[in-house]
Structure formats: C-alpha cells, structure tokens
Amino acid sequence: MDTRGPLCVGIDPHASLLQAWGLDDDPAGLERFARTVVDALADRVAVLKPQSAFFERFGSRGIAVLERAVADARAAGALVLMDAKRGDIGSTMAAYAAAYLDPSSPLFSDAVTVSPYLGYGSLRPAVEAARASGSGIFALALTSNPEGAEVQRAVGADGRTVAETVLAHLKAENAGEEPLGSFGAVVGATLGGTIAEAGIDLETGGPLLAPGVGAQGATPADLPKVFGPSVANVVPSVSRGVLRHGPNAAALRAAAGRLAGEIGAVVGS
C-alpha cells in the first residue's frame, strides 16, 4: 500500500457487469472479464479481491478462471485477498484454510475473508495456516449490511458487543507485530460515525478492510469519520466504482489511480 497506494479493487463479475461490458454470462465471458481486470490493474494496485461466489456459480470452469486470476495477479505483484467469507468448525475449517492459505493450493491467496460467528475459536485452523504460510485473514467484525447488527452489536455477559470481542481476539493475534500484523477485520466504510459513537476501539494492530466506497455510498472523505485514528490502517475496497469503467483497460487504470489518489489524500498515505 505504501508503494502502490491504499486501494483494494474487487473482481466481482456480476451478470449485470458482464452484460455492461458486452460479454456473455458464461465461462468465456467470465474469463475475459477477469483477465481484463488482472491485466489492467495487477501491476499497479495494492490489492485485488476476487469475490469467489461469482466464479463458483459457473462450477469447475469458473473455479479454473479464478485459479488463473489469482496466479496472474500475484505474479504481477498484487496482493490477492480471496473474498470467500468461509466459516466452519474443526476439520472443515481446516479444509477451507488449506484451500486458500496453503501455498500448494491452486487457490493460494495472500489473505482470505472469514466469518467468526461460530465463535472466534472456530477460526483457529485458518489462523494457524496463515501463520505457517505468511498469509493472513480478514474476519468479519462490523459489516455495513443492516442485518449484521443483530449479531455484531449483541452484548455478551462481559458487557462487550460481539464485534468488540472479535476485534479483541484480532488484537491479541497481532500483538508485537510491526508495522502491522496479518490478522485483519472487515469494517464497513458506510457506518458513518456510529463506531465512534459506540466507543468501539478499532486499533487491532492489523489492517481494516473497508468495503462500501463507491457504489454503496461511502466516499474517500468519509473514511476519517468512520475510522478515526485507525484510518491509516484502512484498506478501502472498491468494486463497481472501478469496474464500471471497463472493458477499456486504460479507463480501468485511470479510475483506480484516481481513487487511490483521493484515498491517499485523506488517510495520509
């Protein structure tokens, strides 16, 4: 992020985006879409974030496209964050961890999004796999969808919200790491001042993935209000705000560069 600017661009091949690009909603259209994004951006943005679901819907051919996109993006120097939001227990969680965090896997990524809502301890196989491979996780903490509040803002017996408990676990994972640990949280950029109003501490010693900039309504100027003193650790994620400029590669690069500049100006990067 220091070198390339503080921006994560999602690779979200919605059917509507494929159509807008003049592509068929099939594996060939998917491959053309993913390859265009990777070729245009992987050598200049800090992070690319494929949304696994939009590849999985095409079955094995879609997964093959995802494997190629991950490998090509990493070869071009981008960090790849697999947006899979996996969460399970025991051997099943270990299998998910092997799929995304084992260097021998064709889907090996620099980090993966995970859900801690079977209890943070259920993520232990992913945490251990990330430590072993030098990769990381981003655990859902304070998401911007309204349904999330009934779980994330629920208060436990110790007086902390569930989200605060997740953040505290991540802080413990990152203890002693400089400049940042590899165990991040997902915190929506659309939450406005509600985090500060609730007195929630976002200083976990790790990165904060912030979806919601662009099409979901948040702007780069909103980031300091949402994240306060932790804004320097934010990885703002933009998908449609960049992808709608395709399929022209130059337009994709220009959009990503413009957003990275706007975000850098407010987060001090």
pLDDT digit string (tens) for the chain, length 269 residues: 889 999 999 999 999 999 999 999 999 999 999 999 999 999 999 999 999 999 999 999 999 999 999 999 999 999 999 999 999 999 999 999 999 999 999 999 999 999 999 999 999 999 999 999 999 999 999 998 889 999 999 999 999 999 999 999 999 999 999 999 999 999 999 888 889 888 899 999 999 999 988 767 789 999 999 999 999 999 999 999 999 999 999 999 999 999 999 999 988 76
Cα 11 to the chain's mean position, in Å?
Answer: 11
Tell me what pLDDT residue 269 has.
60
What residues are labeled active site? 85
Tell me the CA distances in angstroms from 209 to 67, 187, 250, one per residue in order.
22, 6, 26
Fill in the DSSP letter of residue 218. B
Burial 134-170 (b: 16+ CB within 10 A, else e): ebbbbbbbbbbeeebbeebeeeeeeeebbbbbbbebb
Fill in the DSSP letter of residue 222. G
74 exposed, middle or buried (CB, 10 Å; 0-12, 13-18, 19+)? middle
Sign of CA dihedral 54, 56, 62, 66: positive
Please tell me the pTM assigned to this model. Answer: 0.96
Q: How far apart are alpha carbons 263 and 269 in whole angstroms? A: 8
